[in-house]
Each structure stands twice: as structure tokens, then as C-alpha cells.
Structure 1
Amino acid sequence: MQESMDAIVMRNVVKSFRKRTIRGEYTTFKSELLRWLRGKRQPREAGLITALRGIDLTIPKGSTVGIIGRNGSGKSTLLKLITGIYAPTSGSLEINGRISALLDLGAGFHPDFSGRENILINGIILGMSRAEVKARMNDIIAFSELGEFIDEPVRTYSSGMYMRLAFAVATHVDPDILIIDEILAVGDEHFSKKSLAKMMDFKRQGKTIVLVTHDMSAVERWCDLAAWIDGGIIRRVGRPSEVAAEYRQAVALAEAQSTVFTPPALTEGGGALPQLSAVAQPSEGPVRHLQVRLTDGRGEDVRAPAPEQALEVRVGYELERATEDVEFVVSFQMPDGRVVYETSTRREAVALSGLPSPGVVRFVVERLGLLGGTYALVVTARAARGSCTARCTFEVAATLEEQGVFRPPHRWVVEPAHEEQVGGALRQDVLARAEVG
């Protein structure tokens, strides 16, 4: 069996929690017992809170991935699914390799045990033998820089000491996948630099690192891939600089609109940030101010098209100077950047001589054909002297339980088999076998 090249594969993962109500009035055991005997017991369950809403995410082995998004958008829930603390409500989750995680500060430590004893316990929990943990004990203690405090109960530790011990254990048990949830924000400058150097060593060894952080500069600086979670869904996966730019613009737009944030799990629509009409990358060519909109036939913006719906991709542009060699490329992509469909004016021999400025190029789609999910629409205006790219994300709303990416036009036919057709097929099969023999 061929070894998978992906460390983590999530397919349509949903995570919901049971929502419970708490009675407002004061109660006693006697009053609750009487209520129950009289058949007036109030049901405690009151629906579900959905934190993750169909996550599709693939993390290649050896990559460093930054998970970004607002507080309450589902980042920590995602990490707890990966580490096995939670189980998915539905969907599939595949992990290839030993995982070590730094989640909640001090998680997994027994407060009454010493640091040394907790190292042994955590190492065994993470899959190492007692002999392996003891062989690495001195290295872990030296890295943590706890000195004589290593034999004191961890309940006496400061938050910084907790973090040092947790990081030392997590990075010295030889994991294939390291999961970190903002824990590096705790600690002094010396240990932060030491931790970063250790993680860079992990990268050189080809380890997989998944980091949840609000530090966009850190994601842009040393992550290979970024995933933006918004409203319990993956809004976009791609190059860190591009994902961070789109995230910042969406947050700025929400602030400008004075949008009040509600945790996504508590809102029907997921508490998502406003959709952007397009995010344009800096232009180096003759085309400036590229803007992309997904509309219906009347020119109205479409937020959640259906698979059978007709659409138009409207590309607004402005030329800095007259040009004859511009090519417009339209690409429908998955959140991780995989191309679903792509074409261009050059490939289809569309004449673009004498382009007006400003102007609009319309790409008319008679039938979308995509199944339900999150997609990216990327449009590039390309010329010999440079290019300009704009993108937007959209959701396809589908009610049928189909799998895959696209929905080809089709119909079902059920009919009885005719005897002569069956006989003819058998005769052809016999002749074919005779010729081969």
C-alpha cells in the first residue's frame, strides 16, 4: 500500500455540540424530584451548536500551515479534532503520523505531580515507551530551563514555566505532526527565540507543523500555507500573503460597517465576515483596478448560486495605457487552490483589440454545474509587461447528497433488456474471446 503524501486529510467534517438550557429559578433536589414524579420535568437538551460546518482541508506532509480567523470561528475546535480530543459529528478525518500538541496552557499536566513525573506521563501518553522517555528526560529538562523546579509540583509553576515544560515535552517526543495553539505568545523573549529556532529545526527535518495564531506577520514569514476559518467553514486556503491580505480586508470592511461579532456557532448564518466583491493583488502591467463580481443575468450579485443556475463573471478593469496583448484568465478553484475549471480569452480566440477603458469583460456561464461547497473565483488580466489578479469566494448551495466537484447534465433511464440485445452482446463477447485465444 502506497504511503499517503498528506499528513492530515479532512473531508466534509462537521462538529456539533449539544446545547443545554439552565433553569433560571432556584431549585432543590426535593423540588426537582417532585417535578419529575409529576411528569413536569423540563427537557435539558435544546438543540445543537455547530462549530464546524463541513470542513475540507488537506495538509501535505512536511508543510507548515497557519490557521487564522477571529476568536470563536472554530480554530481551536479544528485542532482538537485533529488531536483526537473531539470526534467529528460527521465527515472523515485521516491522520498519518504521530501527533504532539500544545493546546490549552498546562493541558495534560497533573497539578500535584512534579515536572519530572509529568514528563514521564505525557511521553507515555504520546506513544513513547518508559525507556524512551527516560532516555530523553535530561534533554527535555535542559530545554525547559526549569532547574530545581523540575521536582516541584506543577501547580506551583507560573504560566511561563508551564509553557516551557509543555513545549519541551511536545518537541522532544519525536512527533511527525506538531500542533500549536497560540501558546508561544506566553514566555519571555529569550525562550520565544529558542522555541522558534526549535520549530525551524522541525521544518528542516520535514516535520508537519499546524499553527493557530493571530500574528499575520508570523504566518506570512514562515508558513508554507495558510487556511482562513470564518463562520465555521474554510473561507480560503492558499499562499500566506494572499490569504492574510484577504482576511485583513474582510476584517477592515466589517469594522467599517460596524458589524457586531457573534460567535459563529451561535448564529444561523455562521457569524461570517462580509463577502468581498474581489481582492485584487498589486498590478505590474497595463491593467489597473481589476474588480470581479459574480452576478445573475440581471447584473445582481449572487452570494450562493445553485448548481443549475446560470451566472456571469463580470470583470471590471481600467487600462493605464492602450494595449493589444491583454489576456483575461478565468479560473474556478477549490479552497486549497486546486483548479476545477480554467480558460482564457487567448485559448478561446476571443478578439480583444481596441479595448475600451474603463470597460467590462463578461464571462457568461449557461449552467454552473458545481456541487455544494466553497469555491474561489480567480481572474487574471495578463500582458507582456505584467499582470493583475483579483479573486472572490462564493458558496454553492445544493440540496442533493452528491459527491465530487461538478454535476454533469444527466438523467436516469430504467427499461427491460431485450432478448436480441442480450444475445447479440453475448455473441460479440464469444467472438472477441475466440480472436484473443
Structure 2
Amino acid sequence: MTVADNANAIVIRDVVKSFRKSTIRREYTTFKSELVRWIRGQRQAGEVRLIEALRGINLTIPRGRTVGILGRNGSGKSTLLKLITGIYSPTTGSIEVNGRISALLDLGAGFHPDFSGRENILINGIILGMTRAEVFARMDEIIAFSELGDFIDEPVRTYSSGMYMRLAFSVATYVDPDILIIDEILAVGDQHFAKKSLAKMTEFKERGKTIVLVTHDLGTVERWCDMAAWIDGGRIRRVGTPAEVADEYRQAIEIAEASAVTFIPPALALGDTGRLPDVPSVTGSGEAQPTTAPVTLLGVRLIDQAGAELRHLSPGQSAEVLIDYAACEGTGDAEFEVSLEHADGKLLYATSTRLDAVSLPERLPPQGRVRFILERLELLGGDYVLGVQVRTAGGEAPGPKTQCHFTVVSEHGEKGVFRPAHRWVVENSLPARALSSVS
């Protein structure tokens, strides 16, 4: 593991992690028989083989981003975090980490059960790179945040799982790390402390810290993360915006459940049998793969008034969304939906031809185009995702959402998402009515 000063917090290149697995025939033995076997140089017959938990991982996490890691149990998520934190070393490949790491992995990891909570704060703080003076200076804050009260001076073996988590989270966050690694541990907290922890991590985000979070809660990833990575069968299946990755992950799970696919962890699988089924893919240009659905989206493009494709827009610029589709003969009662999301997956706006009372042909032609015209796109600077989906009779969406990405470049310093039309008026004196009310 190397450390360098650049714009990326973590760079993982071609990482493979293998473990040795031995299969030895177990028999009932005695101390005498084992001693005789050892003297004679005899060993129990068995098989030793390598199992790959991770198979060629490549992942770059920019500094200051919050990244959600998705995947089923046994897919390699926790192994990846332990490689990043240095608990494991990669079998092959390299991991570059830039900054101090603090991790919440296994519950209570690093705590000595017979020491008090206060003593464990000191020990863990020093392990994480703080001096004794720094730990003592922050001791009261850590104890107050953990809300352990008088239990802070009791042995941690007497703590409940929630108390363990409170103490571990308090120590990990108050050492002021550059990178915070969390492995599903917040799931054991009560609602009050979960809100408190989320507020603390939001503070981390605002301070430009890097957060890597493993979770099965797709809603948390979509609402809170800046990017997401999906690990499947020991490999990176997809990296992208939280909304895109979570949507494809959901579809793969649904296909697996409908097909009664049994999951085999990659450590036990042969070939790629541990992978989820593939789902219909959408290319980065917004072109969908043809399907046998009643209506298929052939492409979604964002263009300007001259017909040129837009990737970068200015606030207030007009734009047009071209939605090309193909329909089976006799298809009717269709509804086209358009959604606008921030890059972090937060929904900003959504509408449809039904909601806007747009008249569509009673029977769609074999091929056609729908145009969605945006008179003024009043957005502030940032990365955005425009998604299009078509629904047929019964409200079913036969295919995945087709998306195109764009960036708004703004010279203004306002904060937020949109820029409402506005103007300022400065008056040098108060109106007479206002003066009389003051007197």
C-alpha cells in the first residue's frame, strides 16, 4: 500500500485476493497416535487449493466523494474494505491510499473486552495515529457523542451491541480521518443514534472527507452517496451514479428471483456461477438495447436549437429531449415519462405525457419520436441525469430507464440546485407608510 498526494483518495489496480483452503480428512485420534504420526513424519492426506474472493478489482475513488458499495453477501465487499484498510494484503495488484483512514468494520474490532470504554478510547485513538494528548483533549467529546454515561468506565464486555457501535463510531469519527470506511455497522444502532450518526457523516461530507460505505440499503445509497460500485461474484460489475447502479442491481435481483437462481459465493463457485444474471444494458450515449417489449426506446438525446447534442449547458439555456422509439403493431395506451435527477440520485422533477395531458396516437406507429422541450433549464452548476421510461397498458415498464448525462456550467456562486428568475431593487429611503409604522 502506497501513499501519494493527488486528487484521488483511493486507487485500486488489478487487485486479486486469494485465500488458501485446505480439506483434510478428519478422524478421531489420540495424543499417542498423533505423536507417533509426527515422529514418523506422516501427515494427514488432504487437499489445499486457492479460492479467489476478489478477481481483478479496478476502482478509483476521488477525494471528497461518498461511495456506496453494493452486492450480495459473499460477493467480496467486506474483503475489499479490509484490503483498503490494510487488514489484508492483496495477492496481486496494488492499492494506493492518500490520507488517514478510520474504519468501522467488525463490531467491536480493536476493543479489549476487559478494559473500560475510556481505556479503549485511548488505545484505539493511539492505534489510529493520535497522540495521547490529542486523545485526552477529545475524550470528553467522544464520551458525550457516544452517550454511554457511567458505562464508559465499565468493561466493554458488559456492553450491548448497540453500545459497542456507539463507542466504535464515536472513536472512528473523532480522530478526524481523511477517509472513513463503514461496513454496514450502523444497522445495529437505534433510530436516535442512526440520525445522529447520519448527521455526523453529513458533516464529514461537507468538510470534503471521503466516505466508503458498504450497505444493503439501496435507498441510502441513492439519497446519500455521490457514486456507487456494484461487486458481483468477486468482480466490479458496475460503477456509476447511485441511481443507475441501484436500478440495475434491483433488476438483476428480480431476474434471479424470477428464475430461481441460487447464489454461490465466489469462493465456492466454479467460473462465473456466482454472478447474477445480466440485465438489458443502456449505453452511455443513451441508446437502449432492442427488446421484444411492446415499446422500445431506441435512443434519448439532449440537443440545442441547432440540433447539436448537448453535454455541457449554461443556466437558463433552452434544450430539447429527443425520444426515439419503436412499437409493436397495435400497441396503444402508452405513457412516456421524463425525470430529472442530480448526479447523487436525488429526484428533482418528473412528469409524463399522461400527467401533462399530451395526446398520443391511439395506435403507435412502428417507429416514432417524442420531443420534450425545455424552454429554460434553470439549474445551477453540477452533474445531472435525464431519464426516460415508457409505460404501456397496466402501468408496466417493459424495459429499464434510458438515461443521458449532462453538466451545467455556471459562473454564478449561488448554492442549491435551481436558479429561479429574479431581480433586486435597492431603494435609498423607506416609503412614508413604513416610516409611520416605525414611529
Q: TM-score, normalising length from structure 2?
A: 0.66
The 1:43–1:221 alpha-carbon spacing in structure 2 relative to 1, beyond 3 Å, is same
- Residues 124-135 of structure 1: pairs in structure 2 closer than 5 A: 124-135=126-137
Quote the Cα distance in structure 2 between the aligned partners of 1:241 and 1:357. 27
- Residues 32-431 of structure 1: pairs in structure 2 closer than 5 A: 32-38=34-40, 40-43=42-45, 46-270=48-272, 271-278=274-281, 290-292=288-290, 318=296, 385=372
Residue correspondences, number: 315
Partner of 1:6: 8
Partner of 1:345: none
The 1:89–1:383 alpha-carbon spacing in structure 2 relative to 1, beyond 3 Å, is farther
1:383 deviation in Å? Answer: 7.4
The 1:146–1:355 alpha-carbon spacing in structure 2 relative to 1, beyond 3 Å, is closer
Farther off after superposition, 264-273 or 249-258: 264-273
The 1:2–1:259 alpha-carbon spacing in structure 2 relative to 1, beyond 3 Å, is closer
* Matched residue type, 2:200: K
The 1:108–1:44 alpha-carbon spacing in structure 2 relative to 1, beyond 3 Å, is farther
1:82 deviation in Å? Answer: 0.5
What is the SS of the residue equivalent to 1:227?
Answer: strand
The 1:14–1:2 alpha-carbon spacing in structure 2 relative to 1, beyond 3 Å, is closer
1:23 deviation in Å? Answer: 2.4
What is the SS of the residue equivalent to 2:106?
Answer: coil
1:187 deviation in Å? Answer: 1.6
Q: Is the 8 A contact 2:25 2:45 kept in 1?
A: no
Q: Is the 8 A contact 1:319 1:358 kept in 2?
A: no
Quote the Cα distance in structure 1 between the aligned partners of 2:226 and 2:22. 40
Alignment deviations for residues 6-40 of structure 1 (CA, whole Å, 9 cap, x no partner): 00000000000000124232123332333344554
Quote the Cα distance in structure 1 between the aligned partners of 2:369 and 2:34. 72
Quote the Cα distance in structure 2 between the aligned partners of 1:181 and 1:192. 14
* Matched residue type, 1:267: A
Q: Is the 8 A contact 2:24 2:44 kept in 1?
A: no
Partner of 1:402: none
1:384 deviation in Å? Answer: 5.0
Quote the Cα distance in structure 2 between the aligned partners of 1:211 and 1:7. 14
1:356 deviation in Å? Answer: 7.5
Partner of 2:27: 25
The 1:319–1:112 alpha-carbon spacing in structure 2 relative to 1, beyond 3 Å, is closer
The 1:185–1:357 alpha-carbon spacing in structure 2 relative to 1, beyond 3 Å, is closer
Quote the Cα distance in structure 1 between the aligned partners of 2:134 and 2:152. 19
Percent identity of paired positions between Structure 1 and Structure 2: 70
Quote the Cα distance in structure 1 between the aligned partners of 2:105 and 2:41. 44
Q: Is the 8 A contact 1:69 1:214 kept in 2?
A: yes
Farther off after superposition, 263-272 or 107-116: 263-272
* Matched residue type, 1:291: Q
1:385 deviation in Å? Answer: 3.3
1:249 deviation in Å? Answer: 0.4
Q: TM-score, normalising length from structure 1?
A: 0.66
What is the SS of the residue equivalent to 1:265?
Answer: coil
Q: Is the 8 A contact 2:325 2:369 kept in 1?
A: no
Q: Is the 8 A contact 1:18 1:45 kept in 2?
A: no
1:41 deviation in Å? Answer: 1.5
1:124 deviation in Å? Answer: 0.4
Alignment deviations for residues 157-213 of structure 1 (CA, whole Å, 9 cap, x no partner): 000100000000000001000000011101211111000000000000000000000
Q: Is the 8 A contact 2:117 2:155 kept in 1?
A: yes
* Matched residue type, 1:94: E
Q: Is the 8 A contact 1:278 1:292 kept in 2?
A: no
1:382 deviation in Å? Answer: 9.4
What is the SS of the residue equivalent to 2:267?
Answer: helix
Q: Is the 8 A contact 1:291 1:316 kept in 2?
A: no
The 1:207–1:97 alpha-carbon spacing in structure 2 relative to 1, beyond 3 Å, is same
Alignment deviations for residues 297-325 of structure 1 (CA, whole Å, 9 cap, x no partner): xxxxxxxxxxxxxxxxx9997479xxxx9
Q: Is the 8 A contact 1:83 1:101 kept in 2?
A: yes
Q: Is the 8 A contact 1:141 1:147 kept in 2?
A: yes
* Matched residue type, 1:82: I
Quote the Cα distance in structure 2 between the aligned partners of 1:207 and 1:149. 31
Partner of 2:350: none
RMSD of aligned Cα (Å) = 3.3
Question: Please, which runs of 5 or more residues in structure 2 have no aligned partner?
Answer: 310-323, 330-367, 374-386, 390-398, 402-439
Q: Is the 8 A contact 1:64 1:225 kept in 2?
A: yes
The 1:120–1:2 alpha-carbon spacing in structure 2 relative to 1, beyond 3 Å, is closer
Alignment deviations for residues 267-299 of structure 1 (CA, whole Å, 9 cap, x no partner): 112401011233599x9xxx9xx4359xxxxxx
